[in-house]
Amino acid sequence: MHQQAGRIIIYTGNGKGKTTAALGEGLRFWGEGKKVLILQFIKGVKVYGEFIAAGKMGADFTIKQMGLGFVRFATKDTIEQHRAAACQALQKAKEHMISGNYDLIILDEILYSIKFGLIDKLEVIELIKIKPEKLEIVLTGRDAPEELTNMADIAIEVREVKHHLRQGILAQKGIEF
């Protein structure tokens, strides 16, 4: 067997678990002594469980919250702030990719950033094109553009079958956040 070049992995779809699956990839990498960076393109206002856990894991498993929170609540006045934050996250992703400091970079919710018009899919395509050969990249979020899916080595669609939110049960700490 030969060493596989770094892959491009996408977790997309309307179901719960895209970020969780990406975190699982990161945990596996970290457990093998590799360095992991997670850039969260939307999250950034609240502290989530994964952020707390990463703080306990040390410098080789880093999460950086780059967003301003849920975009669906953005107004005409605040959408530009969301765009600026997403553009900054994209620039940081590029810098970290080129740095060679990480074995795996997870671009959490980057696909949402495309969906909500915060960044252009062509910018993400260009980012993927400059990926160093051995670097693993994971992209998460709903509605992955076909062009990105075609570039991926692995594309997983997470489909909701049943969810307790539909029954009026609020999001649970440790499950949804």
Residues with Cβ within 8 Å of residue 70, at least 6 apart in sequence: 42
The model carries a pTM of: 0.90
CATH number at residue 89: 3.40.50.300
Mean pLDDT of the 124-150 span: 97
Residue 175, in any domain of the structure: no
Distance CA 128, CA 130 (A): 5
Tens digit of pLDDT for each residue in 44-87? 777 778 888 898 999 999 999 998 887 777 777 888 999 999 99
Confidence of residue 174 (pLDDT cuts 50, 70, 90): low
Residue 40, in any domain of the structure: yes
Q: How many domains in the chain?
A: 1
Query: Which domain range does residue 88 map to?
Result: 8-16+23-167
Tens digit of pLDDT for each residue in 2-40? 566 799 999 999 988 999 999 999 999 999 999 999 999
CA dist list (Å): 119 to 41, 79, 90, 157: 10, 12, 8, 22
Residue 35, in any domain of the structure: yes
Residues 18/144, Cβ–Cβ less than 8 Å: no
Distance CA 82, CA 99 (A): 26
